[in-house]
Every structure is written in C-alpha cells, then in structure tokens.
Structure 1
Amino acid sequence: MTLDSYRNFVTIVDCGSIVAAANKLLIAQPSLSNQLKNIEKTYGAKLLLRGNRSLELTDAGRIFYKRAKEICMMEEGLRNELLNQKAGFSELLKISIPAGNSPYFLHKFFDAFIAKHPKVNYDFYEIPSEFVIPNVLNGITEIGLIRSAAPGHGALTLYPYEREDIVALFPKDHPLAKIKGNLSVPDLANYPLAIPFDCLDIVYASFGHYLLSPNVSMITSPKTTAIEWARSFGSVALVSLTKEDMREIKDMCIKYISDENLYIMSAFIISKDRHLSKIAKEFLQVHGIEVS
C-alpha cells in the first residue's frame, strides 16, 4: 500500500463516485477501480458498495476512510514541517479548533501569540468538536479546543478555558421577539430550531427536564450556518456565544434562556501520552496554562 492508495480512496469517498474522483485526480477510471479492488484485497474487506449513481461505505469502509484520512493528514503535516524548516520558519503549531469561528475568536486566540512568535507557521484543522479529540489522541495535532461536554477520556488532559452561554437567535420580527426578558425552554417548544452538533445533547437534556422534545429542523457543524439558517428562513438558532460574539450580531434578536444548564465550557485538550513541542507549550502559556 502506498500513500497514493490512501489519498485516492479518500478522494473517491469525498467525490461520491469513481468517475468524479478519476476526473479530479486525472487518473483513468479503470486504473482507479483496480486500485480500489487491490485495497479491498489487501485488507480482506469490502469497503464500498457501488450503486448505479452513488457509493456507500460499509462498516469496514467507514473505519478505513477515517484512518486513511488521518494518514493523509499526518503525511501532509510532515511535508509542511519540512517545507517550513526549509523556508526559515523555526516552528509549526498544529491545533484542532471547532468549525465556524468568528473573527473575534481568531484575534483573541492568536494576536498576542503572533506578536511574540511572528515566524511560526500553523496547521489549523477546523472541525466539529467530536473530531478534535481523535486528532489529538492520534497525534495529528498537539492541541485541541473543544466546545462540548468534557470528554471522560483517561488519555487526555483538559484545561477549561471559557464559558459560552447557549442563547436563542432569531429575526427581529419573530413572535419570540415580543417576549420581554429571558425566554423559557417551553417558549421554544413550538418553533423549528437550528442547532450545532456541539449544543445538541445539552439542548435535548434541557427540553427533557420539561418533558418536552425540541423541534429540531436543522443540525449543523458550524454555528455560523445555524445562525444564517435562522436569519434566512425564520427559524430559531440555539448556539453558544460569548458576549463579544453577541456584540458582533446586530441584525438579529438575541435572548438568554432561563436554564442554568444551557451553556458550553470550551477547553483546551492535550494528550497525556505525547510530549508537547516548545511552541505548543508557549501557545498554552499565552492563555495562562502551564504545562511541564
């Protein structure tokens, strides 16, 4: 098995068909089909079910796709590190962060650090929080930031960072805008909701306390998509925001919800089993975290 085999398999899955992948990779379709057969023969497992118009991953295929993608990311990271060294950049910071970040978030996280370390290069992986954890555990990135319930994983060290309240956002002409003060969970029960993955379990738990089920019309990875969905289609976005984030949103109504459990605590995570690079330690130090 070569790295190209892993890359090409990932491309087949991402493109949705062998024909589309062959066009993207500039490889003849029969050659790509044979590569797929050889991969399945090597691992002794059927990885893809081929229909007339689409491909479907088998259970084994889902495992292989996940690991193949990790291998490709690790190889890309290695290449970037060597290129950075050749170009005169002394360090590379590899970090996984949740998708859909505001400009405020990026400035808060990196302004002070970049001022101290102008020659550092970065590998950013903007992905849902549930994928940040395996990235850190598998050494794809040294540091992860999550916005979700604290993972109960013995191989991780967690450093709580910032609380973000889960609030309701909706157009200013929405019926909920007429309610004075905070909303209650029952106030939201009859309206379609757009919710990011990071907030989903917390929202379900809060509704469950009232023996209610949320009307979830849309689930997304980045919260920016949930906000735009509410803005464009008149639903209610339930998303976690900092006070600084709230100040940036001027065209929508933002209301707190009277439930003390509706919040997310963002946190940095690192692997207990991996030694942090000097630059990763210095990044955490900028944020008040000392790692020996």
Structure 2
Amino acid sequence: MSKTQIKQLIASRTHTDGLTETGIRGVRLFRATRSIPCVPAVYEPCVVAIVSGAKEAVFDGNRYVYDDSQYLCCPMSMPVKAGTPSASADHPLYGVFISLDPQLMTVLALDMETAGGALPTGKGGPPAQGIQLASWDDNFTDALVRLLALGASQTDTAVLGAARLREVYYAILKGEAGVFARQAFGAGNAIARSIADVSAKLDAPISIDDMATRAGMSRAAFHRKFKQVTTMAPIQFVKSMRLNNAAMKIASGVTVNEAALDVGYASPSQFSREFKRMYGQSPRQWGAAQHLPAGMAMGSEG
C-alpha cells in the first residue's frame, strides 16, 4: 500500500478545486490547481495529509510547509493562516482533511495509556505547541489507504467507515505526533477544554478569569500554562480566533457587521480597528479582495 494509491483515489474523486465529501463523517478530499496565498483560517482539531504538491500554514509567526513526507497534526482549535502557494494546473495539490473527534481521540488515548504496553515517547527537545508536522509512517499510510478505498462502495463506507477511521486515529496516536496528540486528548487537559469552550462560544463574552476558574487554576498559572501549550497569551489567542473566524465569514460573503457580531464584537468601530491592525486592511477591503474556492482555507467550515 502506498501514497501513490492514495493520490490515485483522490484524483479520481475530486473534479473541482476545494473540498469533496467522502461519505465518512469528518473525512474530506481536496484539490487545488492554482496558487492561493496564506489567508486567515481556524483549524479545528484535524490532520491534513498531502500526497501531491505542498501546503503551507502559519501559526503565531511560525511557518509550516508540508508535503507527502509529513502530515500536519492540529489537535486543538487554532487560529492560523493557510494557503497553497505552489499549486498549479500542471502541478495540482491533492490531499486529505481528517477532522479529529475529541471524544474518540480521548477514548483511544486513554485505552493506550491503560493497555500496559510501551508508548512512543517522541523526539527530544521542547514539546510541540499549537500544531506539529509528523513524518508519514507505514501504519498511517496503510490505515489511510484502507479508509479511502471504502469509497468504491457506498455499503462498505456506511458499514466500515467508522472502524477504518478509528484505525487512522490510532495510527496518528502511535506515530511521530502521538505524544503531542495524546497530551491534547489525554485525561485532565484543562487547556484543551478551555480552547474547545472558546471555539464554541466566540459570540459570547469571554473572561480570562472565568477560563482560569473553569480550568481550576489561578489566573497567573492559567496564563503560564496556556502560553506553554499555544505560544499565545489567552487574550491574544481569543482575539486571533475571533478575527480569523470573522475574516473567513467575510470572505464567504457575510457582511462586516454580521461577522463582527457573530464573533462577539459589540462595537463595529473596535472590530474594524483591530481587524486592520492584524491584517493591514479594513474588513471591507479584505472582503473585496477575497475570491477563494469554497473550503480552500480548510478552517472551521472544513
């Protein structure tokens, strides 16, 4: 089983740029045949695997370029910029976007921790923060081929899809990103819970003191731990999540005022100021400049 098979499966099933559903919840194929610069997006818990071409993500100033030698693992919701700067009609990008179900990943992580066997310990050095690139290994490749091969039969997809997706999750947890992912999905990860809560309630008032209280920490301890996990202070993270979500909404055709309200800004003028400070354009200028194929940023909508 090989990445060549995966590429052939994707190429045969994607007929337009953007995302293509597979019939398996949370698993989508994607194609890009033109260069798209990095634009604001929000990655929900996911793995992005490329089998042809290269993709780029920028998180808190760090640039991640990955191709068929590494896949991207993002176990918690993160505000990023993402694009396909090297894609073209002659050299299309093909890949797979896999949403990570936090509940199932947590169950698998706990099962692995209690099974009694030795778990991968990862490479030396500081722990990964926010997102991580992981080398493809045979377990991940084989599990992904088995998952995508189900697309040839609607019955096979319906009956076996969940089990094959579980195999892919297990391969991720056993692989190079396994320690990183298990830390995010393991028991007692208060920061991961805080991030999930923020992501689900961007339109509501968000208090750092309340986040710390729910995490069972003092404000100072919560701030320190949050920055260790995400590289960002909590206030900076919340603002980036809100503005990236708003940028995606505006690019999809939502009005500036609607986008501002949807992500918790009561003051349109404050929203415009902070948006321009982060992206160098007013929200209206930003919206006028965006002409992306549906789903190409692969953020919270995909």
Q: TM-score, normalised by structure 1?
A: 0.23
Q: Flag the structure with larger Rg.
A: 1
More strand by share: 1
